[in-house]
Amino acid sequence: MAVRIAVCLSGRGSNLSALLDALPAGGDVVVSLVISNRENAAGLELAAGHGIPTRVLAEPGDASAWLAVLRRHEVDLIVLAGFLALVPAGVVEAYRDRMINIHPALLPRHGGRGMYGRRVHAAVLAAGDTETGATVHLVTEEYDRGQILGQAAVPVLEGDTPESLAARVLGVEHRLLPAAVLAAGAAGHPVPFSLTPQGSAVRNVPCPAP
Ligand code: GRF
């Protein structure tokens, strides 16, 4: 039986799109539900266009509402892909080691509460970092602190702006998240993984020990 995943998002859903493109029909993994805290999130339309059930959680702090919908759709794994609300502790507990997040920086740098979107890339530039990237990690009660499962780095270039950096990092997110989900599908649960090199500027970052 395929591993059933719920993707949670708050915005455009380009990571969902990359994931759907990468998942083979009849493979180990199926996106069986898309959850949002925002009813106008463009990612919901994308999901509906693929025939995937969607659900808006107007009160994302209500763990019992989450658990009811996750149970109804028999969700095995949760993928946070641009989900900008806090997942309640009861859901983190119920899905411990079965929930991953993608963060647009090389954690543990530039993560934590309030570090999302443009702010992350502005912080990378302000710190003078010479590379940045994306991280997939397990979700725990602390923002961006769970075990790192995979990372890929891209260079910071002279003249970069938060926007140019965001675009470069997004390109690597679109490879990293599908790789994480395919690895999780094959193993039955999230596991450390690495990207297959494609001769680009992307560099795999070895996983630190948990
Ligand atoms: C991505 O940069 C993701 O890493 C971050 O939010 C953004 C979501 O983009 N957490 P999209 O909705 O997948 O296009």
CB within 8 A of 164, min separation 6: which ones? 157
The pLDDT value given to residue 202? 57
Query: Domain tally for the chain?
Result: 1
The pLDDT value given to residue 153? 95
Domain around 143: 3-203
Does 199 have pLDDT greater than 50? Answer: no
- Going from the Cα of 43 to the center of ligand 1, the distance in angstroms, rounded, reads 11
The pLDDT value given to residue 56? 98
Determine, yes or no, domain membership for 103.
yes
Segment 20-77, tens digit of pLDDT? 999 999 999 999 999 999 999 999 999 999 999 999 998 999 999 999 999 999 999 9
Segment 135-161, tens digit of pLDDT? 999 999 998 999 999 999 999 999 999
Active-site annotation holder among 50, 73, 103, 174: 103
Mean of the per-residue pLDDT values of the chain:
94
Determine, yes or no, domain membership for 137.
yes
Task: Check pocket membership of 13 for ligand 1, CB cut-off 6 A.
Answer: yes
**In CATH, what number is assigned to the domain containing residue 17?**
3.40.50.170
The percentage of residues in the chain with a pLDDT greater than 90, rounded to a whole number, is 89
